[in-house]
Amino acid sequence: MSTAELHTRLVDGVGVVSFNRPHRHNAITDALFHDWCAAVRGYLADPAVRCVLLRGEGRSFCSGRDTAELGRRARGEDDFTFVQQHQRVRLELLESTKPIVAAVQGAALGGGFEIALSADIRIIADDAVFGLPEVGLGLVPDTGGTQLLPALIGPGRAMYLVLSGERIDAQTAYRWGLAEEVVPRDRLEARAMELCGRLAAQPRLATSMAKMLVNQASAGPIRNGIGQELLAQTALFGSDEYQQIRNRARTGKEDR
Protein backbone atom coordinates (compact mmCIF):
# COMPACT_ATOMS: atom_id res chain seq x y z
CA MET A 1 0.00 0.00 0.00
CA SER A 2 1.37 3.39 -1.00
CA THR A 3 -0.03 6.80 -0.10
CA ALA A 4 1.10 10.37 -0.64
CA GLU A 5 3.17 10.20 2.55
CA LEU A 6 4.24 6.55 2.49
CA HIS A 7 5.80 4.64 -0.37
CA THR A 8 5.99 0.84 -0.49
CA ARG A 9 7.40 -1.59 -3.04
CA LEU A 10 8.35 -5.24 -3.22
CA VAL A 11 11.64 -6.01 -4.98
CA ASP A 12 12.90 -9.61 -5.23
CA GLY A 13 11.59 -10.60 -1.81
CA VAL A 14 12.49 -7.27 -0.14
CA GLY A 15 9.58 -5.23 1.20
CA VAL A 16 10.57 -1.56 1.16
CA VAL A 17 8.70 0.92 3.39
CA SER A 18 9.62 4.58 2.88
CA PHE A 19 8.44 7.62 4.80
CA ASN A 20 7.58 10.39 2.32
CA ARG A 21 7.23 13.68 4.22
CA PRO A 22 10.60 15.16 3.27
CA HIS A 23 9.40 18.73 3.90
CA ARG A 24 9.00 17.74 7.59
CA HIS A 25 12.05 15.47 7.76
CA ASN A 26 9.58 12.56 7.72
CA ALA A 27 8.07 13.51 11.07
CA ILE A 28 5.29 11.08 11.98
CA THR A 29 1.67 12.17 12.20
CA ASP A 30 -1.14 9.94 13.45
CA ALA A 31 -2.23 9.28 9.87
CA LEU A 32 1.29 8.38 8.75
CA PHE A 33 1.78 6.11 11.76
CA HIS A 34 -1.44 4.25 10.91
CA ASP A 35 -0.38 3.72 7.30
CA TRP A 36 3.19 2.78 8.24
CA CYS A 37 1.97 0.15 10.71
CA ALA A 38 -0.37 -1.34 8.11
CA ALA A 39 2.45 -1.52 5.54
CA VAL A 40 4.97 -3.03 7.95
CA ARG A 41 2.50 -5.58 9.29
CA GLY A 42 1.46 -6.49 5.76
CA TYR A 43 5.05 -7.25 4.81
CA LEU A 44 5.72 -9.16 8.03
CA ALA A 45 2.73 -11.39 7.27
CA ASP A 46 3.41 -11.82 3.54
CA PRO A 47 5.29 -15.06 2.74
CA ALA A 48 6.63 -13.45 -0.44
CA VAL A 49 8.57 -10.95 1.68
CA ARG A 50 11.85 -12.34 2.99
CA CYS A 51 13.39 -9.11 4.33
CA VAL A 52 12.05 -5.64 5.21
CA LEU A 53 13.86 -2.35 4.53
CA LEU A 54 12.85 0.77 6.47
CA ARG A 55 13.88 4.09 4.96
CA GLY A 56 12.87 7.70 4.38
CA GLU A 57 12.71 9.94 1.33
CA GLY A 58 14.57 13.23 1.19
CA ARG A 59 17.17 14.61 3.57
CA SER A 60 16.24 12.62 6.68
CA PHE A 61 15.22 9.16 7.83
CA CYS A 62 12.67 10.28 10.43
CA SER A 63 12.67 13.14 12.94
CA GLY A 64 10.20 11.44 15.29
CA ARG A 65 6.66 12.49 16.12
CA ASP A 66 5.50 15.65 14.40
CA THR A 67 5.66 18.33 17.10
CA ALA A 68 2.41 19.81 15.76
CA GLU A 69 0.67 16.70 17.13
CA LEU A 70 2.74 16.20 20.28
CA GLY A 71 0.42 15.26 23.14
CA ARG A 72 -2.63 15.17 20.87
CA ARG A 73 -4.89 12.12 20.87
CA ALA A 74 -6.87 12.27 17.62
CA ARG A 75 -8.97 9.20 18.48
CA GLY A 76 -9.43 10.18 22.12
CA GLU A 77 -7.24 7.39 23.52
CA ASP A 78 -5.82 7.65 27.00
CA ASP A 79 -2.04 8.07 27.21
CA PHE A 80 -1.48 4.45 28.23
CA THR A 81 -3.30 3.08 25.19
CA PHE A 82 -1.65 5.57 22.83
CA VAL A 83 1.88 4.65 23.90
CA GLN A 84 1.08 0.94 23.97
CA GLN A 85 -0.06 1.06 20.32
CA HIS A 86 3.31 2.52 19.30
CA GLN A 87 5.17 -0.03 21.40
CA ARG A 88 3.24 -2.93 19.93
CA VAL A 89 4.49 -2.43 16.38
CA ARG A 90 8.04 -1.93 17.66
CA LEU A 91 7.87 -5.30 19.43
CA GLU A 92 6.48 -6.92 16.29
CA LEU A 93 9.57 -5.76 14.38
CA LEU A 94 11.89 -7.02 17.10
CA GLU A 95 10.17 -10.39 17.31
CA SER A 96 9.60 -10.97 13.59
CA THR A 97 11.54 -13.89 12.14
CA LYS A 98 12.33 -11.77 9.06
CA PRO A 99 15.48 -9.63 8.92
CA ILE A 100 14.75 -5.92 9.32
CA VAL A 101 17.21 -3.39 7.90
CA ALA A 102 17.14 0.39 8.41
CA ALA A 103 18.79 2.74 5.91
CA VAL A 104 19.38 6.00 7.77
CA GLN A 105 20.32 9.39 6.41
CA GLY A 106 20.08 12.82 7.98
CA ALA A 107 18.00 13.11 11.13
CA ALA A 108 17.00 10.04 13.12
CA LEU A 109 15.54 11.64 16.23
CA GLY A 110 13.20 10.56 19.00
CA GLY A 111 10.79 7.95 17.70
CA GLY A 112 12.67 7.92 14.41
CA PHE A 113 15.83 6.89 16.25
CA GLU A 114 13.84 4.17 18.02
CA ILE A 115 12.51 2.84 14.71
CA ALA A 116 16.11 2.52 13.52
CA LEU A 117 17.02 0.79 16.78
CA SER A 118 14.28 -1.80 16.25
CA ALA A 119 15.96 -2.95 13.03
CA ASP A 120 18.34 -5.88 13.12
CA ILE A 121 20.93 -4.07 10.99
CA ARG A 122 21.51 -0.35 10.41
CA ILE A 123 23.26 0.97 7.30
CA ILE A 124 23.77 4.72 7.70
CA ALA A 125 24.82 7.59 5.47
CA ASP A 126 27.77 9.76 6.39
CA ASP A 127 25.39 12.64 7.15
CA ALA A 128 23.26 10.71 9.68
CA VAL A 129 22.54 12.32 13.06
CA PHE A 130 21.01 10.50 16.03
CA GLY A 131 19.39 11.92 19.16
CA LEU A 132 16.72 11.41 21.82
CA PRO A 133 15.23 14.78 22.88
CA GLU A 134 12.43 13.40 25.07
CA VAL A 135 13.85 14.19 28.53
CA GLY A 136 14.19 17.84 27.53
CA LEU A 137 10.44 17.82 26.81
CA GLY A 138 9.65 16.38 30.24
CA LEU A 139 9.17 12.87 28.85
CA VAL A 140 11.23 9.71 28.23
CA PRO A 141 11.87 7.55 25.15
CA ASP A 142 8.93 5.15 25.15
CA THR A 143 9.29 2.70 22.27
CA GLY A 144 12.45 0.90 23.28
CA GLY A 145 15.10 3.63 23.34
CA THR A 146 16.06 3.12 26.97
CA GLN A 147 16.27 -0.65 26.47
CA LEU A 148 17.73 -1.16 22.99
CA LEU A 149 20.47 1.44 23.35
CA PRO A 150 22.25 -0.14 26.36
CA ALA A 151 22.25 -3.51 24.58
CA LEU A 152 24.07 -1.94 21.63
CA ILE A 153 26.37 0.70 23.11
CA GLY A 154 26.51 0.03 26.87
CA PRO A 155 24.74 1.74 29.78
CA GLY A 156 27.09 4.73 30.10
CA ARG A 157 26.74 5.93 26.52
CA ALA A 158 23.02 5.13 26.54
CA MET A 159 22.62 7.21 29.70
CA TYR A 160 24.51 10.06 28.06
CA LEU A 161 22.23 10.12 25.02
CA VAL A 162 18.98 9.68 26.95
CA LEU A 163 19.67 12.22 29.71
CA SER A 164 21.50 14.92 27.76
CA GLY A 165 19.52 14.93 24.54
CA GLU A 166 22.83 15.39 22.71
CA ARG A 167 23.07 14.38 19.07
CA ILE A 168 25.84 12.24 17.62
CA ASP A 169 27.08 12.07 14.06
CA ALA A 170 27.47 9.07 11.80
CA GLN A 171 31.10 8.32 12.63
CA THR A 172 30.40 8.43 16.37
CA ALA A 173 27.35 6.20 15.91
CA TYR A 174 29.44 3.68 13.98
CA ARG A 175 32.29 3.80 16.50
CA TRP A 176 29.87 3.23 19.38
CA GLY A 177 28.19 0.25 17.70
CA LEU A 178 24.89 1.82 16.60
CA ALA A 179 25.51 1.05 12.92
CA GLU A 180 27.06 -1.78 10.99
CA GLU A 181 28.19 0.33 8.00
CA VAL A 182 28.66 3.99 7.09
CA VAL A 183 28.42 4.80 3.39
CA PRO A 184 28.36 7.99 1.29
CA ARG A 185 24.89 9.52 1.16
CA ASP A 186 24.49 8.84 -2.55
CA ARG A 187 25.30 5.14 -2.01
CA LEU A 188 22.92 4.50 0.88
CA GLU A 189 19.88 3.11 -0.93
CA ALA A 190 21.91 0.95 -3.31
CA ARG A 191 23.98 -0.55 -0.49
CA ALA A 192 20.92 -1.17 1.67
CA MET A 193 19.10 -2.88 -1.19
CA GLU A 194 22.19 -4.95 -1.96
CA LEU A 195 22.34 -6.19 1.64
CA CYS A 196 18.60 -6.82 1.81
CA GLY A 197 18.77 -8.81 -1.41
CA ARG A 198 21.47 -11.00 0.09
CA LEU A 199 19.47 -11.53 3.28
CA ALA A 200 16.31 -12.31 1.31
CA ALA A 201 18.20 -14.99 -0.65
CA GLN A 202 19.36 -16.82 2.49
CA PRO A 203 17.54 -20.04 3.52
CA ARG A 204 14.31 -18.91 5.19
CA LEU A 205 14.19 -21.35 8.12
CA ALA A 206 17.84 -20.97 9.09
CA THR A 207 17.54 -17.18 8.91
CA SER A 208 14.49 -17.21 11.15
CA MET A 209 16.12 -19.43 13.76
CA ALA A 210 19.38 -17.50 13.66
CA LYS A 211 17.60 -14.21 14.32
CA MET A 212 15.66 -15.78 17.18
CA LEU A 213 18.84 -17.13 18.76
CA VAL A 214 20.72 -13.83 18.56
CA ASN A 215 17.74 -11.99 20.06
CA GLN A 216 17.39 -14.54 22.83
CA ALA A 217 20.30 -13.04 24.75
CA SER A 218 18.35 -9.87 25.53
CA ALA A 219 14.71 -10.50 24.51
CA GLY A 220 13.31 -10.93 28.03
CA PRO A 221 14.90 -7.87 29.66
CA ILE A 222 14.10 -5.66 26.65
CA ARG A 223 10.43 -6.65 26.60
CA ASN A 224 10.16 -6.09 30.36
CA GLY A 225 11.94 -2.74 30.06
CA ILE A 226 9.62 -1.54 27.31
CA GLY A 227 6.75 -2.30 29.68
CA GLN A 228 8.41 -0.04 32.24
CA GLU A 229 8.75 2.68 29.60
CA LEU A 230 4.99 2.47 29.09
CA LEU A 231 4.27 3.06 32.77
CA ALA A 232 6.82 5.88 33.07
CA GLN A 233 5.62 7.73 29.98
CA THR A 234 1.97 7.43 30.98
CA ALA A 235 2.80 9.08 34.30
CA LEU A 236 4.92 11.80 32.69
CA PHE A 237 2.22 12.85 30.23
CA GLY A 238 0.14 13.87 33.25
CA SER A 239 2.95 15.60 35.10
CA ASP A 240 2.98 19.35 35.81
CA GLU A 241 6.52 19.52 34.44
CA TYR A 242 5.53 18.19 31.01
CA GLN A 243 2.41 20.37 30.85
CA GLN A 244 4.45 23.50 31.61
CA ILE A 245 7.00 22.68 28.91
CA ARG A 246 4.26 21.91 26.41
CA ASN A 247 2.43 25.16 27.19
CA ARG A 248 5.64 27.17 26.83
CA ALA A 249 6.26 25.60 23.43
CA ARG A 250 2.72 26.43 22.30
CA THR A 251 3.02 30.03 23.51
CA GLY A 252 6.33 30.39 21.72
CA LYS A 253 4.76 29.24 18.45
CA GLU A 254 1.87 31.66 18.89
CA ASP A 255 4.31 34.53 19.57
CA ARG A 256 6.09 33.79 16.31
Alpha-carbon gap, residue 198 to 223, rounded angstroms: 29
Q: Which long-range contacts (C-beta less than 8 Å, at least 24 apart) are formed by 31-38?
A: 31/5, 32/5, 32/6, 33/86, 35/1, 35/3, 35/5, 35/6, 36/6, 37/89, 38/1
* 5: Cα within 13 Å, side-chain hemisphere: 16
Question: Among residues 5, 134, 189, 229, which one is catalytic?
Answer: 134
Q: Is the dihedral of CA 217, 220, 221, 223 positive or negative?
A: positive
Q: Cβ(222)–Cβ(214) under 8 Å?
A: no
> What pairs with residue 180 in β-bridges?
none
Q: Is 69 known to be catalytic?
A: no
Which of the 8 DSSP states describes residue 111? Answer: H
Question: Among residues 114, 180, 189, 254, which one is catalytic?
Answer: 114
Closest residue by Cα to residue 14 from 232, 161, 214, 195: 195
Q: Is 189 known to be catalytic?
A: no
**What amino acid positions are annotated as catalytic residues?**
114, 134
